[in-house]
Structure 1
Amino acid sequence: MTTLTIDGFRYQRLPGAGGVELNVAVGGSGPAVVLLHGFPQTHYMWREVAQLLADRHTVVVPDLRGYGESGKPAEDGADTYSKRTMGQDVVAVAGALGHERFGLVGHDRGALVGVRAALDHPEAVQYLGILDVLPTLDTWGVLHGVDAKVAWHLYLMAQPAGLPERMIRAVADDFFASFLDAWDADGSTLTAQVRQHYVDSSVAAVDSIVADYRASAGIDLEMDREDRAAGRTLGMPVGVISQDWGSQLGFDASALWRAWAPDVTYEPIDAGHYMAEQRPDEIVRFIRGLAARVVG
C-alpha cells in the first residue's frame, strides 16, 4: 500500500472513543486547529493547507476512524461509525494533545463529523469550517428523482451490511478510483502517487467506509432530526465554502446552512470537490478568516 506523510509533521497514535487508535499528524505551534478529511481520502489531503497553517497554529490532522492508518473496528452496532462517535474521537485526540478548545475544519465526510462534534461539544469547538458538503438531514432532503443519480453511492452503502461490502470488494480499485476520476476529471489536482495512495487506503478499508456511510442513512439522520425538532443549532462561528451544487440540484445551500448555524458565512468557490488540494491558498485564507471571528 502506498503510504504518504506530511513533511515536517510528527506522527502519533492516539486513543479516540472506546480506545480506538487514530493515526494523527501534528505540526506547528499556536492555537489548535483540527483538520478532518473526506472520501475516499486520508489525512494527506490536507498536506499543503496544514503546512501553510502551521506558522500560526498547532495543526492536528487525523485519519478518521475506519480510514487510512487509523483503527477500523468492526461494525458491532449502529453507533460504531456514527458521527457522534467519530466526533468523540476528535475531542479525545485533541484533549490527549492538551487542547481542550480548538478550531475544527472538515471536508466532505470530515465536515459531517465536524458538525456533529460541534453540536455535541460546543464547549470544545471554537469555530467550524465546512468544505463542500451539506448536513446529513439536508443531503437526503435535496436528493430527488433522476437528479439523485449523482449520489448513487450513498444509496448503495446505505443498504444492510453484507451485500454492499461484497459488491464493492469485488471491484474495489475501480469503485474508489471512479470518484477520484470524476472529481479530478483532468487529472490536474492529484498526482499518480497521491491517487494510488487514496485508492490503496480505501481498498483496505471497505467495510469501515461502508459502515460510515450506512450510519449517515440511519443513526446520523436520526440525530439530525432530533436536533432539528429541538431547535438545536451551532452557536460558534461557522464558515462554509463550497461548489455551487444548489444550482444543479435546485436548492439554496446557504439557506440550508443558516438553519443550522445562525452565525454562518457562506462562500462559493470556483474549484472542484478536492478544493483543499486544488486551491490550498484559498482554503487557508478561508480558515484564517474563520479563526479571526473567534472572540476571547
Structure 2
Amino acid sequence: MRLSTVILPVRPWSQGGRDEWLRAEQLGFHTAYTYDHLSWRTFRYGPWYGAIPTLTAAAAATERMRLGTLVTSPNFRHPVTLAKDLISLDDISGGRITLGIGAGGKSFDATALGQEAWTPKERADRFAEFLPLLDRLLTEPAVTSRGTFYSAVEAHNLPGCVQRPRLPFAVAATGPRGMRLAAEHGRAWVTAGDPGIFETGTPADSRDALRGQIEKLGKACADAGRDAAGLEKVLLTGFTPDRGVPLESLDAFVDFAGRHYELGFTEIVIHAPIPDSDFAADQAVFERIATEALAQLQGGAETVPAG
C-alpha cells in the first residue's frame, strides 16, 4: 500500500507553502497532491492559489516525491491548454507528475466563467470527450480533432511528456461512464466514497459502498479487456462517514487503512492538517502516520481486520 497526502493551496509560498511541500517529501509520502479549483468550499473567502503554478514551484523545490492534482476537471480547463501545462510540468519535475482528473461537480468552479452549472449528464458528456482528447494531446506530436464540446486544430505538443507514452491519469469516478474511462485511460482509479451516505451512514455502510464501487470498476475493466488488478485504486479520505477517524491516532489510521486495504485499495490519501478548518488535525499524529503507519500495516498484513 502507498500513503500520500493532499496539500491544499492556501498558504503563500514564502510563508509556509514551500516548507509544507518539502516536509511532505521528508516524511516519505509517495505523492503530494493539491486540489485543482479556483476556490473551494469553506476556503472560498480566504487565500487559494492555482494548482499548476503551485505544483511547478513544488517540482522545483522537491526531488523524489511524486506530485499531482486531485482532481482536475473540465469545469474551467480545456484539453489543449491543459496538455501544454502538463507537458511543461512533467519536464520541470523530471517525470514525477500524476494527473488526477474527474468530471467535476457543482462547485464554485462550475459557474466562475459565467456559465450555468452543468447537469450530471452534461458533465459526463463533456468528460467523455475531454479525457480521450487530452490523452491524444499528450501522446501525439500534433492533433486535429473537432468535437461537440472540445476541439484542437494542429495542436503541437513536442517533445511530449518525460513519462512515456504520457504522464499517468488517476481517474476519479463512481458512475458507469466514468469508470469506463478509468478502465480505458487510467493508471489509477480514485474515489472519495459514496456522498449519499456521508452524513447518515456508518463506517460499515461506507465500506459496503466502496466494495460495490470496486466491483463495478472490475466489470468496467472486464468490458474494456483489462485486468482490474493492474489498475491502482486510490481512496481520498475525509469524505466518508468516519471522516475524522483516520487522523485521530496512529492506531486509528492503521485500523482504517487495513480495512480498506482488504477491500482492494492500493493508495490512501490523507489531508495535511489545516488549523481551524474541516481538516484540522494534530500535526504530530499526521507525521507519525506518515513515518510509521506503513511499517505497521506490512507487519500486520496477515491479521488486518476485514469487513
> What range is the shorter-chain TM-score in?
0.3 to 0.5
TM-score normalized by structure 1? Answer: 0.35
* Larger-Rg structure: 2
Point out which structure has higher relative CO (alpha carbons under 8 A, 6+ apart): 1
